[in-house]
Amino acid sequence: MERQRDVSRCQRHHPIHLRSVRGYDPADAVSYHPFTSLKGVIAKNTGEEPFNAPAGLVELYNKKDYGKWTDPELNDVPVAFTHMADIAGGNSGSPVMNARGEIVGWCSTAITKP
């Protein structure tokens, strides 16, 4: 019985991992930047799945009315980012926080290097 209680207690505590946001180079002449942007979403928009951007998003892009969502370094709206945190069974959906403790995303998938 003691062992069951220890296991359940572990499941309620989530470790914090400090990792960086950065791109990577999985193969020769292949490089991925750390951020994707709204401009990139629109560039890939075909109007058909899986690259069917919602009309409202396209309209927002055309108006260039991003408000507080523009990242000054990207000069665009960030959409997704890569990070170096381990994604293992059970932590998908965990929050990703910046240095100020603000939630800026979540872990959703792992990219395996070839």
Find out whether 77 and 67 touch, Cβ atoms under 8 Å: no
pLDDT digits (tens, 9 = 90+) for 11-25: 555 666 677 788 888
Q: How far is CA 35 from the centre of its chain?
A: 8
Greater confidence (103 vs 41) lies with: 41
88 SS3 class: coil
Domain boundaries, the chain: 17-34+82-114, 37-69
pLDDT digits (tens, 9 = 90+) for 79-114: 988 877 777 666 777 888 888 888 888 877 766 655
- Which residues, 6+ apart, have CB-to-CB distance to 95 below 8 Å? 103, 105, 106
Residue written as tokens 């960030």? 78
Find out whether 83 and 20 touch, Cβ atoms under 8 Å: yes
Among residues 10, 34, 35, the alpha carbon closest in space to that of 22 is found at: 34
Q: How far is CA 103 from the centre of its chain?
A: 11
Q: Which residues pair with 21 in a beta bridge?
A: 83
